[in-house]
Amino acid sequence: MADPKLGVYICSDCGIGEALDTEKLENIAKNQYRIEVVKTVPFLCSQEGAQVIRDDINNEGVNKIVIAACSPRVNSDTFDFDPAQYITERVNVREHIVWSQLPAAVEEEPAQEAGTEAPAEASGDEAAAAAPAEAAPETAEEPAEAAKPAVNENTQEMAEDHLRMGIVRAQKSEPPEPVIEAVERTVLVIGGGAAGLTSALESAKAGYKAILAEKEAVLGGWAGKMYKILPDKPPFEDVKTPDIDEKIAAVQSHENITVLMEAHIDSIAGTPGQYDATISHNGSTETHRVGSVVMAIGWKPYDAGKLEHLGYGKFKNVVTNVEVEEMAAANNGTISKPSDGQQAKRVAFLQCAGQRDPEHLPYCSSVCCMTSLKQALYVTESDPDASAFIVYKDMRTPGLYENFYKAAQNNPGVMLTKGEIVSITEDATGNIILEIDNTILGEKVRIEADMLVLATGMVTNMLPEGAEKVTDLTPEYVGQWKETETQDGIIKEVIADPVVLNLAYRQGPELPYLKYGFPDSHFVCFPYETRRTGIYAAGAVRAPMTAMQSANDGVGAALKAIQCVELTSRGQSVHPRSGDESFPEINFTNCTQCRRCTVECPFGVLDEDEKGTPKTNTSRCRRCGTCMGACPQRIISFKNYSVDMIASQMKAIKVPEEDSKPRIVALICENDAYPALDIAGLNKIQTNPFYRFITMRCLGGTNLVWIADALSAGIEGFLLIGCRYDDDYQCHFVKGSKAASERLGKVQETLSRLMLEAERVTQVQLAMNEWDQLPKIMNDFAEQLKGFGPNPFKGF
Amino acid sequence: MADETVDKTEETAGAEEETAAEAIAEETAVTAAEAPAEGAGTEVPVVAETAFEGEEPAISEAAVAAPAKEVVAITPDVSFVRDIIKGGGVDLKKCYQCATCSVVCNVTPNESPFPRKEMMWAQWGLKDKLVGDPDVWLCHQCSDCVAQCPRGAKPGRVMQTIAKMSIPSLSKPGFLAKGIGNPSSLILMVAIPVLILLAVIARFGHLTNPERGEVVNGVPVHPGEIVYGSFLGHWPIVIVFSTFFVLSIIIFALGVRNYWGMMKKHVQEEGNDVSGSGMSQVGPVIGEIASHKKFGKCDETKDRKISHLFIFYAFGLLFAATIISTILTDFPLLWGGEGSLSPYPTISLVKLFGYTGAIAGAVGIGLIIINRIKHQEKIGIGSYFDWLLISVVLVIMITGIGSVAFRKFDVGVVAYPIYFVHLSSVLFLFIFAPFSKMSHMVYRATAMVFAKTVGRDTPM
Amino acid sequence: MADKVLIVGGGISGITAAVEAAEAGLEAVIIEKNTYLGGRVAQLHKYFPKLCPPYCGLEINFKRIKQNPKISFHTLSEVKSISGSEGNYQVTVQVNPGYVNEKCTCCNDCVAECPGERANDFNYGMDTTAAIYLPHEMSFPMRYVLDKNACGSGCTKCVDACKYGAIDLDMQARTVEFNVSSVVFATGWNPYDASKIDNLGFGVAKNVITNVMMERLAAPNGPTRGKIVRPSDGKEVKNIAFAQCAGSRDENNLDYCSSVCCMASLKQATYLRDCYPEDSKATIFYIDLRAAGKYEDFLMLVKADENVTMTKGKVAKIEEDPATGDVTVTVEDILGGGKVEATFDMVVLAAGMESAAKGANLPADLVYEANGFMDSKQKVAGLHACGVARWPDDVATSVQDGTGAALKSIQSNGGIPKTADAVEMSGGN
């Protein structure tokens, strides 16, 4: 960009003018930073106000705009200066400072009472608004000047420091230049079942090309193997004959879909928009250039061999729901006893067989209740006097599937009870005797059946046949543990076995899975989020679901696959920083091949050569900056986000001599902590005035060098406020806040080298709706620091 | 006691040649004679007691044989499920066991309440469990469950159907119960009393020209007037009606004995013991029935209490009328004395009771019909089984009043046919009392006594 | 092609459809009848099973909307007419006045002066706001709204109080025309009116509330600032009952399962336990506990808490003790427990979800199933349904469905509009 020229604009409205001495603020910009264009504008967010800035852009050539006013979360449409040309830095003096500070506070003790009481008082905005007003007189620490209402020294200093940090941040930022690369508008769909067929077809309908790779010799998956399928149209009452053939025909006849049967994925290399998928099928091996991947490889039945306690394998007439389905499909609906081939007149169904069971599948497979109702109808269909009795824990037919429950149950031969199996035995004639307790018949009952059907569950095909129990899988990938010696000790990691994708990724050949082997999204709000940009899971591979649900899932996955390619074609990031055109740049000359970036990247973006030199794959990147934080050499940075930038922001903080004015740096996550502080301000909840907030894309970007620097510069302590990690993580970058917490472990040694308490650096996990807890969190930490006494480095 | 009842009937019948007013009083009264089954439940304890003593040892054995809460083998029976559906429990299968019915039912005991468990048993076709189930008859058909059921399974209807289906195994011969429960055989069933009466009239009465007057003790009575007595004489009626009345009583007696035994067995299978004869509970039950306390607990159909009370006391009054006429007419006749004071003066107890009873009955039956229409949207208009009884009683009331009217206006052409219909419908009621819905007055009363005996009573 | 999709409904699935379509390259405009985007989820305290705040997801989605020029939206708006056909629909939208313009800075000075008062619908009427108010902390757009029905006649206090000239009492409804290639209906749901359930005492017993109200009671910006107390007397709720299928799976009310109520009640049980960890008890009365798929883990988690009891049996009678305000429920403990009465401080009705499109007379030839949910396959090309408008389901599934709707709208547009900066790949193999 042209020579940088800063303009600083301070808004004097929304109470800012009353609470702060804007003249002093202006002077800091003018004198300390030698900035010519510095203006205090009332009602800056008005058209007139914004016009002032636009004029300076046009007339003065201002291209880095520092706005000290409200939160960037509001008025973004007013201050929407083209990010490709201008840097806009919003210094949040309103919500984070003026609205959350008393007009005048006693220096000695931080506004604890106010802080903690506020939320209680602040019921309704009126109360909140009133609170500071009352508080003002008795807490006024200096006699108010006649001219201006008392400006609180701490609040003023807080604003000044934040202005300094904002200016520095703007100075250190450059508009990003997106990497525009050619993309292939083709989606590779792996798996030709309900989900896969739909994904391919819908992608093609949207104008994309699709390659459908199916490992078997026929398309259709389970949906093609069934005698009848569950209702998939209103009124969702009656079973229907499989109609998957229509979809198969549509796929096969579509000009933009290439179907590869009996296909095996040898490898997928490259990045979104430019994947090279090497696929071998009927003898030949070809490499196809594809833009993105939908993985719809479906499910396999749980190994009933492990269910001997339920009689499977022990008694001839105990079979699984899958076996019954095959039987029905083969014999036009007739269910006969394996023992003698006679038609079964009394068929018992045992729900949750090896499911909802910590010993087997702890989860529920969602579909089995409906499957058993369906199969119960087979039993009565072929013989009206035959009866099917279903023993369930809970009948789970959610939503409009309830209609199917009602319809099926209405058949006189279909009988249901809740119950727990006490014993399953076989009599001389091969009949199965079930003893059931806790039934809704109000007693322990014994039922005799010709045949018992076990409603076994679904296991994701991410797990190879005979994989270990879903309850103790190796983390993220199927594989073996391996310990590797590195320069910072032994790293224990899983060497993963390829299952489907054979990704040429440093971190592993597959989508990392979560609990029970499902490569599902962990996000309620973002069900298609996987940790491999451009690769999306759809259907029963990611969670147990019906064929109808799988098909729906396939549509969404196709959209994400297409969207990823489109964003890539514009050099933009996908969710959560959708549209971000910045990307990490590595200064290789100083790279020590320590591999930390390649190991810590939550999205497996960075590959490495045999020496360990990282290779950036921009279009895989989510721009969280975890690599930046991981790098001990500080050689990874974005145009508008870098180690140096934040280090400089900290240096910009003025650390006073007096111990009564501690300075505490809070690194706050832009996703949850930042808005939480905004909402606290909106509610006029009082927070501690000695904090200096630095916004992070994710705490994962926290680089330890800052801590060393800042502490030696007299900062009393560091509070990292970020998202929850571990099992129920809310970190938008999956492992960012976790990575930060692990790094903090390492900082101990740094601190002890400086003869400082390790607790001076603390990370807290804050959910966005916990804004009311901020004052306590901040005050407690401040108190703790006070206990340690002043930072010995202060004033060096 | 049984004899006494028999006497009554004979004598009631004896009052036959009296004016239609009495006639009505009488015949309906005869029916009313059974009202005690519900009202006083006179014969219930007797039978119960004998049944009880008779089975004392057997029971204690059973009690030993059936220790509490062992594993119960159950045999699902689709055909029985289908029977219940055909029999009127059409929505049985819709039940998904949420137990709303048991909760909204104000008549059920709290421990293993009905009708939820009956719905379950019925859905599985567990006949044995349902047969001896006291709750099937304890249900007062409030229909609160029908109105509240989230699935529209109409538990009340199912309970009624099960009750209906249990009658053949209680009142013998069972085919009569099956017949009366089945619309297609209605004609056949109606034919029975009609043919009997025709036969009797053909043999003892005058189908043609009844006006010639009847001769009682050699004295011609009111020649030229309409005299039903001359249509069919006094004694034939006495014989016919009392015979079938006594038969009914015996069938009921055996039925109650049966039922009591079954209920015992059932309760023991459920793991509870039965002690006490039940005698002690008769009093309280009579009280409950007289006050219709349980009906009062219904929410949806509160108004039913009134209408049922009307019918109930109508029978009572007509019964009373019969007693009086018995004392005034039949006794003297029997002893060869002057059987008379008849026709009674318009202001006489007999007529007073007779008329008010008839009117009360008409009002009650009217109310019942109105209520059913009023509630049909929410809980249905009712089953064939209900309507058969309602219609019969209605016919009896109308033809009864009709007979009086047309005699007074002296329109023989109409009067005699109506009187004939009247007689046949009353006989119909007699014959089928143990098999039709009429039997509820006995079996429900029995179930109530049993429930109290085993401490399975509704919290009041 | 119009290169634009119009989305009716700014709830989570509508927002998702818009954002996903726009990020793929298709312009999207959201029409929301409420004063803010976010719909029902904005009123939820936490999501199951992660117990994370919906505000978090909304924050990201709003950020995506703010930074994406391809997305526009209108609140306080309703679709008046739709004409044309796939690829070229004309849609007329009426934008109703909120009487506050874009000049609003949320300084709150107006509220201090406002004499009016209105029931706070955001908190389901459990508290009040001034006539001029900020709907909630995450309101998007972040702008106050004036409820004129709550204004005194001729009162101009707020206007005088606003130094920014943001309040315009004469603001009129206006109509906006859109030319779009398809319309997505993400009209979402309304909580079922529990007063229609005649045996569960809602509206009669003061301490019988619905599950949506419970969300507000637990929320830090709810009527009680997150403290779970009873409506009648503000007493701390230590013993709570959840009545499942309140209206759902019930021919007399909602003849289907609302899918989410079981999980919602399990979640809300944790609200109470977190609020009073020492001495609070929760009892859940259910017909079937429907924690499908991996949600089972959450069921197990809550079950592990010995202060949470689960009893099979539908609550079918609820009575209030007028003296104490306590609530007595009657239920049959189906697993042999007989008919029991139990008394609680408060009862939460797990009321179901009703399609908001039902009886809304949307100006389009749409196909509905018997309960008012839209068929996924609409007979008119270019009209799509997603989210709870289509099927009563949880947030994750509604979002998934909204994503699918985005693709459908791209198909209706004959593909993604070609953009200049997108580089085509030469051939590829």
Whether C90 and chain B come into contact, CB under 8 Å, resolves to no
Q: What is the 3-state secondary structure (H, E, C) of B159-201?
A: HHHHHHHHHHHHCCCHHHHHHHCCHHHHHHHHHHHHHHHHHHH
Residue A83: the pLDDT is 94
Same domain, A406 and A506: no
Residues A475, A606, single domain; the answer is no
Report pLDDT for C359. Answer: 86
Interface test with C, best of A45, A260, A396, A550 (most C CBs within 10 A): A396
Residue that terminates a domain, selected from A121, A154, A175: A175
**Domains of chain C, first to last:** 4-96+173-188+356-412 (3.50.50.60), 192-353 (3.50.50.60)
User: In this predicted structure, what is the pLDDT of residue A611?
Assistant: 86
- For residue B340, pLDDT beyond 80: no
Coil/strand/helix, residue A494:
strand
Do A170 and A314 belong together in one domain? no
Q: What is the mean pLDDT of residues A501-525?
A: 94
Q: Which one is predicted more confidently, B253 or B334?
A: B253
* Sign of CA pseudo-dihedral A685, A691, A697, A699: negative
Contacts of B378 (CB under 8 A, 6+ apart): B146, B147, B300
Q: Which amino acid is at C148?
A: K
Mean of pLDDT values over B364-384: 88
User: Could you tell me the pLDDT band of residue B413, with boundaries at 50, 70 and 90?
Assistant: confident
Check pLDDT > 80 for residue A456. yes
- In this structure, what is the dihedral angle of CA atoms C82, C84, C88, C93, given to the nearest 10 degrees? -20
* Residue A91, token pair as written in the block: 């210094």
Q: State the DSSP string of C186-198.
A: ---EEE--GGG-T
Per-residue tokens: B403: 């007979």
Reference A166, options A653, A783, A644; nearest CA is A653
Instruction: List, in order of start, the domains of chain B with CATH numbers.
Output: 2-65 (no CATH), 78-170 (1.10.1060.10), 177-453 (no CATH)
Last residue of a domain, one of A544, A569, A594: A569
Distances (CA, A) of A387 to A311, A335, B52: 21, 12, 39
Residue A170 lies in a domain: yes
Residue A9: closest CA among A168, A203, A163:
A163
Give A-chain residues touching B93 at CB under 8 angstroms. Answer: 409-412, 414
Q: Does C392 touch chain A (CB under 8 A)?
A: yes
Residues A55, A147: one domain?
yes
Same-domain check for residues A609 and A678 = no
Whether the ω angle into residue A790 lies within 30 degrees of 0, i.e. cis, is no
Strand partners, A615: A607
Domains identified in chain A, total number? 5
What local confidence, expressed as pLDDT, does residue B224 receive?
57
The CATH number assigned to the domain holding A10 equals 3.40.50
Q: DSSP code of A276?
A: E
- Decide if pLDDT at B4 tops 80: no
| Residue A181, in any domain of the structure | no
CB of A87 within 8 A of CB of A64? Answer: yes
Does B18 score more than 80 pLDDT? no
Confidence of residue B415 (pLDDT cuts 50, 70, 90): confident
In a domain, A708, yes or no: yes
Instruction: Please report residues of B whose CB lies closer than 8 A to that of A389.
Output: 76, 124
A21/A109 same-domain check: yes
Q: Name chain A contacts of B85, Cβ cutoff 8 Å.
A: 412
Q: Which residue among C20, C25, C297 places its CB closest to the CB of A362? A: C297
Mean pLDDT of chain A: 91
Let me know: does A90 contact A167? Beta carbons within 8 Å.
no
DSSP one-letter code for A32: I
Average pLDDT (A412-427) is 95
Q: What are chain B's partners, defined as 3 or more CB pairs within 8 angstroms? A: A, C
Query: CA-nearest residue of chain B to A380?
Result: B78
Record: contact A395-B124, CB cut-off 8 A: no
Instruction: Report the alpha-carbon distance of residue A378 to residue A361 in Å, rounded.
Output: 27
Q: Quick one: what percent of chain B has pLDDT higher than 90?
A: 34
Residue B416's pLDDT band (cuts 50, 70, 90): confident
Strand order in the sheet with C383-385: C71-74, C27-31, C4-8, C182-185, C383-385
Angle (CA) B406 B411 B416, round 5°: 70
Please check whether residue C334 touches B, CB under 8 A: yes
Cβ neighbour number for residue A715 with a 10 Å cutoff: 24
Residue of A nearest to C414 (CA): A206
Residue A534 contacts residue A620 (beta carbons within 8 Å): yes
Give exposure, C152-185, as e/b (b: 16+ Cβ within 10 Å): eeebebbbebbebebbbeebeeeeeebebbbbbb
Decide if pLDDT at B414 tops 60.
yes
Query: What pLDDT sits at residue C150?
Result: 96
Q: Which chain A residues touch B86 with a CB distance below 8 Å?
A: none
**Under 8 Å CB-to-CB from B162, ≥6 apart: which residues?**
B84, B89, B118, B122, B130, B133, B136
* CATH number of the domain to which A591 belongs: 3.30.70.20
Burial class of residue A134 (count of CB atoms within 10 Å of its CB; 0-12, 13-18, 19+): exposed
Give the confidence band of B330 by pLDDT, cuts at 50, 70, 90.
Answer: low
Chain C closest-CA separation from residue A746 CA (Å): 29
Instruction: State the pLDDT confidence band at A142, using cuts at 50, 70 and 90.
Output: very low
Shared domain check, A360 and A270: no
Q: Is the pLDDT of residue B37 over 50?
A: no
Name the nearest CA neighbour of B441 among B25, B105, B40: B40
Checking if the pLDDT of B10 tops 60, the result is no
Whether residue A15 is found in the same domain as residue A133: yes
Residue A57 lies in a domain: yes
Q: What sections of A60-147 are H helices per DSSP?
A: 112-121, 124-139
Residue B335: predicted pLDDT: 61
Q: Are residues A447 and A590 in the same domain?
A: no
Peptide bond into B115 cis (omega under 30): yes
Q: What is the pLDDT of residue A149?
A: 61
Contact A444 B71 (CB under 8 A): yes
Rounded mean pLDDT, A265-270: 97
- Residue of C332, C334, C335 to mutate for B, most B C-beta atoms under 10 A: C332
What's the pLDDT at B333? 64
Q: Do A446 and B74 touch (CB under 8 A)?
A: yes
Is A447–B120 a contact, with Cβ atoms under 8 angstroms apart?
no
ipTM of the complex: 0.89
CATH number where A279 lies = 3.50.50.60
Domain-embedded: residue A540: yes
Torsion of CA B367, B368, B371, B373, to 10 degrees: -110
Taking contacts as CB-CB distances below 8 angstroms, the residues of chain A near B73 are 445-448
User: Which structural domain, as residue segments, surrounds residue A610?
Assistant: 585-637
- Going by their DSSP bridges, the two strands A458-460 and A479-486 should be labelled as unpaired
Residues A442 and A515 in one domain: no
| pLDDT value, residue B218 | 52
The neighbour count for residue C379, using CB atoms within 10 Å, is 9
Of C255, C293, C376, the CB nearest to A363: C293
Interchain proximity B124–A389, CB inside 8 Å: yes
Q: How far is A575 from chain C (nearest CA, A)?
A: 9
- Is A446–B73 a contact, with Cβ atoms under 8 angstroms apart? yes
pLDDT of residue B334: 63
- Which pLDDT tens digits describe chain C residue by residue (429 residues)? 899 999 999 999 999 999 999 999 999 999 999 999 999 999 999 999 999 999 999 999 999 999 999 999 999 999 999 999 999 999 999 999 999 999 999 999 999 999 999 999 999 999 999 999 999 999 999 999 999 999 999 999 999 999 999 999 999 999 999 999 999 999 999 999 999 999 999 999 999 999 999 999 999 999 999 999 999 999 999 999 999 999 999 999 999 999 999 999 999 999 999 999 999 999 999 999 999 999 999 999 999 999 999 999 999 999 999 999 999 999 999 987 899 999 999 999 999 999 999 989 999 999 999 999 999 899 999 999 999 999 999 999 999 999 999 999 999 999 999 865 544 444 333
Of the candidates A513, A543, A569, which is a domain's last residue?
A: A569
Q: What is the pLDDT of residue A68?
A: 98
* Model confidence, pTM: 0.91
Tell me whether residue A114 is in a domain: yes
What pLDDT band is residue B424 in, cutting at 50, 70 and 90?
very high
Residue C351: name the closest of C224, C222, C215 by CA: C215
> pLDDT-based confidence at B410, cuts 50/70/90?
confident
Average pLDDT, stretch A479-488?
83
**Is A470 a residue whose pLDDT tops 90?**
yes
Residue A192 lies in a domain: yes
Portion of chain A with pLDDT greater than 70, in percent: 93
**DSSP 3-state of A666:** strand
In the predicted model, is pLDDT for residue B221 greater than 80? no
Largest Cα span, chain C: 81
pLDDT category, A145, cuts 50, 70, 90? very low
Residue A98 above 90 pLDDT?
yes
A32 and A67 housed in the same domain: yes
The C-alpha angle B287, B291, B297, rounded to 5 degrees, equals: 115
- Is A309 found in the same domain as A289? no
Residue A652 makes CB contacts below 8 A (sequence gap 6+) with A161, A164, A165, A167, A168
In a domain, A580, yes or no: no
Residue of A527 and C422 predicted with greater confidence: A527
Sign, Cα dihedral of A332, A336, A340, A345:
negative
What mean pLDDT is reported for chain B?
A: 77
- Cα gap A459→A304, rounded to integer Å: 12
pLDDT of residue A439: 78
Residues 140-179 (C) with a CB less than 8 A from some CB of A: 142, 163-164
Chain A environment of C334 (Cβ under 8 Å): 418, 440, 442
Give the A:C interface size as CB pairs under 8 Å. 285
